[in-house]
């Protein structure tokens, strides 16, 4: 071959190799970049006043007075929303109005029983009030304007009746008066529709701004605070602003999503203008501010990960990983030592070797079921522990899962120790055990550490083996190794298959995944540093 061609081929090879490395880096960046970006938004984001309230109430962080002043300011701009809604509700919420009328009537009946008025008068009053109540109810429920007006006129005719002055029954007349004002300008035929849509609006408002002032603390933790993050607030606002419906375009055609401004559906009412107001004053109502929420890595979370961080998940993952390593490293190294140093090449050993190789390729879900059948249902009860998923069972399952990896890596490492080391030690009168412990093992340590790194990464990220053996999505922190724990891998799996709620907080899912990657990176870096130190010590620099 001519030298020119040889040089050219060399250069082409260099270029191709370099390009492939660059491609690999780009792919990696393309994969990790968006994930890091989205996961990072769990820590760095625009926090709203609701976020600061949540931090104060759940974790006791922040300046109480400052936050109180801030939420007071926010409430001033929010007040308009609630008053407008309240007004419309007065006209359309017939159920609530009927309830109110019945309550007043009952109260009035009780009052009557305790008065000293003559029996006939009481009976008559009762009859009249009953009539008023019935007419009021029909007015509330009716969608016929004429009928409503007639009923209201009838009731209002009792306005100056002396018998009802200063009694509870006056409340009924008051209701009628209020209603006649509220109902003005409302298309009564549409009342039911308005009522339902108003309920929707209120639900979204609870998610966006938190519970309405004056209402009782909601039982659901996620309803206690509004949108804690600005991106979530905008998402919720879009849901508030746009009415979503699925319309049929024709027979045999797929449904099509159509968005219409919600204000259109409230056309003609005072609420119509409310949506524009919310859009304009949303920043004032929520006061978003850039927030660095590093406590994400230590905080506990509310059920469903709506608020809070991934502290228990990190703890659980670390616990499981380190415990599994504690089981797998001694077993793996001893097994490898036996296979290399002691085992002769017979059929039994060959079968064992083949089994180990096969085990390395078994899908992890199989190990999960094995863990359930063996550790949870058989092993734990044998020692009197409760037969439920727990850290011990999960870490043992993970240890079994990664044992082949560990054995193979250790075996290679031990085999790679030069025979001359062993010979030298034996020639000095050392026993085989002593030779292994003092010479072979230290020399094989870098290779064994490589095995540990490989197993560590695998163990920390596995979901399927812990699915049945000790991982939970929610629950208290584990108190002992006989309690189940949350883990990052299972947590992100659970959020991926979880309900709509999880879809509202995607930053959590990405946050968990990125945390897992970072955690493995940290553990690996630690192991690699140890390995390089051992290596340097062995090489004598």
Return the number of other C-beta atoms located less than 10 Å from residue 102's C-beta.
13
* Interaction between residue 346 and other proteins (CB under 8 A): no
| Residues in Cβ contact with 415 at an 8 Å cutoff, skipping those fewer than 6 apart | 340
Running DSSP on this structure, what letter comes out for residue 157? T
Of the listed pieces 80-88, 184-192, 290-298, 433-441, which binds other proteins according to CB under 8 A? 433-441
Q: Which of 165, 479, 500, 541 binds other proteins (CB under 8 A)?
A: 541
Angle between helices 94-114 and 170-182 (to 10 degrees): 160
308 or 446, CB closer to other proteins? 446
CA distance 207 to 244: 17
* Interaction between residue 289 and other proteins (CB under 8 A): no
Rounded to 5 degrees, what are φ and ψ at 472? -130, 160
Of the listed pieces 172-180, 276-284, 306-314, 422-430, which binds other proteins according to CB under 8 A? 422-430
* Interaction between residue 348 and other proteins (CB under 8 A): no
Determine the straight-line distance between the first and last CA of the chain, rounded to whole angstroms: 44
CA distance 27 to 35: 13
470-509 positions binding other proteins, by CB under 8 A: none
* Interaction between residue 33 and other proteins (CB under 8 A): no
**Coil vs helix vs strand at 204:** helix
Site size toward other proteins (CB under 8 A) is: 24
CA distance 408 to 394: 22
* Interaction between residue 4 and other proteins (CB under 8 A): no
267 or 538, CB closer to other proteins? 538
440 or 485, CB closer to other proteins? 440
318 or 441, CB closer to other proteins? 441
Of the listed pieces 80-88, 363-371, 396-404, 414-422, which binds other proteins according to CB under 8 A? 414-422
289 or 536, CB closer to other proteins? 536
Q: Minimal distance in Å, beta carbon 533 to other proteins?
A: 13
* Interaction between residue 418 and other proteins (CB under 8 A): yes
Q: Which of 68, 434, 437, 533 binds other proteins (CB under 8 A)?
A: 434
**Coil vs helix vs strand at 346:** coil
363 or 429, CB closer to other proteins? 429
* Interaction between residue 439 and other proteins (CB under 8 A): yes
* Interaction between residue 540 and other proteins (CB under 8 A): yes
CA distance 93 to 110: 26
* CB distance 91 to 142 below 8 Å: no
Q: Which of 166, 217, 420, 480 binds other proteins (CB under 8 A)?
A: 420
Return the number of other C-beta atoms located less than 10 Å from residue 431's C-beta.
10
**Cβ neighbourhood burial of 330 (10 Å; 0-12, 13-18, 19+):** exposed
* Interaction between residue 253 and other proteins (CB under 8 A): no
Q: Minimal distance in Å, beta carbon 453 to other proteins?
A: 21
* Interaction between residue 443 and other proteins (CB under 8 A): yes
> Can you state the percent helix, strand and coil of the chain, rounding each to 5?
75, 5, 20
Q: DSSP per residue over 332-381, as a string?
A: HHHHHHIIIII--SSHHHHHHHHHHHHHHTS-HHHHHHHHIIIIIIIIHH
CA distance 526 to 524: 5
Contacts with other proteins by CB under 8 A lie at 344, 418, 420-431, 434, 438-439, 442-443, 537-541
């Amino acid at each position: 071959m001519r030298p020119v061609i040889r040089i050219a081929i060399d250069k082409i090879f260099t270029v191709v190799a370099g390009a492939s490395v660059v491609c690999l880096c780009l792919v990696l960046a393309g994969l990790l970049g968006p994930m890091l970006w989205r996961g990072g938004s769990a820590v760095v984001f625009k926090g709203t006043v609701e976020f600061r309230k949540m931090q104060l109430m759940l974790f006791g962080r922040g300046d109480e007075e400052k936050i109180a002043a801030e939420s007071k300011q926010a409430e001033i701009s929010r007040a308009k929303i609630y008053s407008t809604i309240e007004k419309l509700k007065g006209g359309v919420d017939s159920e609530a109005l009927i309830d109110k009328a019945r309550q007043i009537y009952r109260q009035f009946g009780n009052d009557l029983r305790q008065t000293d008025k003559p029996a006939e008068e009481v009976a008559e009053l009762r009859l009249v009030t009953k009539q008023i109540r019935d007419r009021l109810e029909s007015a509330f429920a009716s969608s016929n304007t004429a009928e409503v007006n007639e009923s209201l006129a009838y009731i209002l005719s009792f306005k100056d009746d002396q018998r009802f002055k200063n009694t509870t029954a006056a409340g009924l007349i008051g209701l009628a008066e209020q209603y006649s004002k509220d109902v003005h300008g409302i298309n009564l035929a549409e009342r039911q529709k308005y009522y339902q849509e108003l309920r929707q609006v209120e639900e979204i408002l609870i998610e966006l701004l938190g519970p309405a002032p004056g209402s009782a603390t909601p039982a659901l933790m996620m309803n206690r605070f509004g949108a804690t993050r600005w991106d979530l607030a905008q998402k919720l606002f879009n849901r508030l602003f746009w009415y979503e419906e699925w319309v049929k375009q024709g027979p045999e055609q797929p449904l099509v999503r159509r968005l219409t401004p919600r204000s259109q559906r409230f056309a003609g009412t005072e609420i119509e203008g409310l949506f524009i107001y919310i859009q304009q004053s949303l920043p004032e109502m929520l006061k978003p501010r850039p927030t660095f929420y590093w406590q994400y890595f230590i905080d506990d979370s509310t059920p469903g990960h709506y608020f809070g961080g991934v502290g228990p998940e990190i703890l659980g993952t670390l616990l499981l990983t380190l415990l599994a390593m504690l089981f797998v490293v001694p077993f793996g190294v001893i097994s490898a030592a036996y296979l290399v140093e002691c085992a002769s090449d017979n059929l039994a050993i060959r079968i064992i070797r083949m089994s180990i190789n096969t085990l390395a390729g078994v899908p992890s879900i199989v190990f999960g079921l094995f863990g359930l059948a063996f550790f949870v249902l058989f092993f734990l009860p044998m020692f009197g522990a409760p037969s439920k998923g727990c850290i011990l069972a999960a870490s043992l399952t993970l240890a079994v899962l990664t044992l082949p990896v560990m054995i193979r890596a250790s075996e290679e490492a031990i085999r790679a120790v030069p025979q001359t080391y062993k010979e030298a030690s034996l020639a000095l009168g050392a026993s085989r055990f002593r030779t292994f412990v003092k010479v072979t093992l230290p020399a094989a340590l870098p290779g064994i550490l490589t095995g540990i790194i490989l197993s560590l990464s695998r163990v920390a990220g596995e979901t399927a083996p812990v699915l049945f053996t000790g991982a939970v999505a929610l629950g208290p922190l584990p108190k002992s190794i006989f309690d189940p724990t949350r883990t990052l891998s299972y947590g992100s799996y659970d959020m991926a298959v979880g309900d709509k709620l999880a879809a509202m907080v995607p930053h959590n899912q990405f946050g968990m995944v990125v945390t897992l990657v970072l955690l493995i990176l940290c553990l690996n870096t630690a192991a690699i540093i140890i390995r390089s130190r051992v290596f340097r010590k062995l090489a004598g620099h």
